Amino acid sequence: MKQILISLLLIIALHTTAQQKTENVIIITLDGFRWQEVFGGADSILINHDKFTEDKKGLQEKFWAATVDDRRKKLLPFFWNTIAQQGQLYGNRWHNNFVNNANPYWFSYPGYNEIFTGHPDTAVNSNDKRWNKNENVLEFINKQKGFEGKVAAFTSWDVFPWILNEERSKVYVNSAFESLSFKSPTFDLLNEMQMTAPRFLGDGVRPDLLTFYIAKEYLKTYKPRVLYIGFDETDDFAHGGKYDMYLHSAYMVDQLIADLWGWLQIDPHYKNKTTIIITTDHGRGDAKKEQWTSHGAKIPDAGQIWLAVMGPDTEVKGEVKTQGQLYQKQIASTIASFLGFTFKTVKAVSEPVTDVLSK
């Protein structure tokens, strides 16, 4: 009997180990990037709009196609040629598959708070640089054995040190044009580049391209277990009514994610052991009403978002077309669950997205 019990326990342990392959998680956000472009590609109204698109012919040549499938592949080739073949995509409302903010504000700080803390908070209702009182999943993981000092965030927007409460959480957060303290020829060059780069979006937003390459160099050098990359340009160009730049920025980020995923597949520390989660902080308004430039509680549709997940523990489902409802608040516990943790704080945290956690 004792031998049978030992054998059963060994089988259970081996099964659990086989089930849980993810050792690292990378979270990526595209600020204010609409689900309509994720699932439909270039918007027919906006790409032909005199007010929002300066070079209509050039944009059409690059991003327009006769079918939705072709349009979205042109705009986001990595999403639709790789994630759709190897992971899961949620939020196509044309198929009654919904992903929403749970917070009622539908703008950035409340959205990022919800992503990382697992719950909306009515006290988080502005984009002001105020220390977030809510514990986030990155600092929770950073406290776990084997993860100390192995969690980092690189973001284009300069409010993230407050959103993630770098002061309390002890998670390394590098945002906007914050100087790099790491010393190597590559880091020195990246630091010089960001300090001399034109600040076309102001002092508070670093170009996404620089944010990416700084984050990637950190990944290659320090091998974090959890890495967050927060892109911002899609939101800024949308607010400026520049649909052409909005699309070009989204396309660029898709290419950067493809570059990152390709590198992860050849590095022994990350290959077949890394899950990637991609989402947005909020949606935007309707193109027909010319509200796509805005978001917030007074803009219908601005609480509509999307979610993409791919990794060794996620069953291949591609674009999920079944009716369903997910919320942004589920992402935090999903991140923790991939690493074998149950995210708990003094406040109630939403349950994870279970469908992405089993294969």
pLDDT digits (tens, 9 = 90+) for 325-355: 999 999 999 999 999 999 999 999 999 999 9
Q: What is the pLDDT of residues 301-318, one digit of tens each?
A: 999 999 999 999 999 999
Q: Please, which residues have CB within 8 angstroms of residue 22's CB and are 6 or more apart in sequence?
A: 273, 274, 275, 311, 312, 313, 338, 339
Q: Are the C-beta atoms of 27 and 230 separated by less than 8 Å?
A: no
pLDDT digit string (tens) for the chain, length 359 residues: 445 444 443 333 334 445 789 999 999 999 999 999 999 999 999 999 999 999 999 999 999 999 999 999 999 999 999 999 999 999 999 999 999 999 999 999 999 999 999 999 999 999 999 999 999 999 999 999 999 999 999 999 999 999 999 999 999 999 999 999 999 999 999 999 999 999 999 999 999 999 999 999 999 999 999 999 999 999 999 999 999 999 999 999 999 999 999 999 999 999 999 999 999 999 999 999 999 999 999 999 999 999 999 999 999 999 999 999 999 999 999 999 999 999 999 999 999 999 999 87
Taking CA atoms, 40 is separated from 43, 47, 134, 278, in Å, by 7, 13, 35, 17
Rounded CA gap, 220 and 114, in Å?
29
The pTM of this model reads 0.94
Report yes or no: 166 and 175 within 8 Å, Cβ to Cβ. Answer: no
Cα distances (angstroms) measured from residue 215 to each of 113, 136, 280: 21, 20, 18
Rg (CA), the chain: 20
Of 26, 31, 25, residue with least CA distance to 206: 31
Angle between helices 68-75 and 243-264 in degrees, nearest 10: 70
User: Residue 20: its pLDDT value, please?
Assistant: 86
What is the C-alpha separation between 121 and 130, in angstroms, rounded? 14
Q: How far apart are CA 326 and CA 350, in angstroms?
A: 11
- Cβ 142 vs Cβ 148: under 8 Å: yes
Distance CA 109, CA 130 (A): 10
